[in-house]
Amino acid sequence: MTSVLKTYKEEDYYVSPILTSVKVFMQKSKRGDFYLYFMDNGQAIKIGLSKNPENRRRTIQTGSHLKVEILRVIPVAYYSFLARNVESRAHKFFTKYWIRGEWFSREILDQVYDYTPTKTYLTAKHDFARKNKNV
């Protein structure tokens, strides 16, 4: 599973000017690499957020008689409040298929691999530089 995860450091991210006014909030926010994950237990798909998706999978597996598998892991943010925003948007995107909590119908299985979170507030430096060559 480690091969799926890429480690990002704080300097890998470009913080947009919009966030300048909330710098104090950012400093109080939990830091680290946050990942949006999609897990399948054969009956439903869980969309969640974790700093360590494999440990999260093991925790979910402990409470379930169904085999839990990670379908996809997406690095989303360095600050927790931004990561929660990405998770919330994913939940809203799939709201039509919502079952309970963070669990969604398996009807979204094909869409899971095509889903791209929107990068509203935080983008990786290389993505920003590619889009804004004059910066």
Question: How confident is the model over 12-68, as pLDDT tens digits?
Answer: 555 555 544 455 555 556 667 889 999 999 999 999 999 999 999 999 999 999 999
Residue 99 has pLDDT above 80, yes or no: yes
Query: Would you call 16 helix, strand, or coil by DSSP?
Result: coil
pLDDT at site 22? 52
Do you know the residue count of the chain? 135
C-alpha atoms less than 13 angstroms from C-alpha of 33 in its C-beta half-sphere = 14
Question: How confident is the model over 113-124, as pLDDT tens digits?
Answer: 999 886 544 444
Per-residue tokens: 135: 């910066």
Q: Does the model's pTM come out above 0.85?
A: no
Whether the CB-CB separation of 10 and 31 falls below 8 Å is answered with: yes
Per-residue tokens: 36: 């949006």
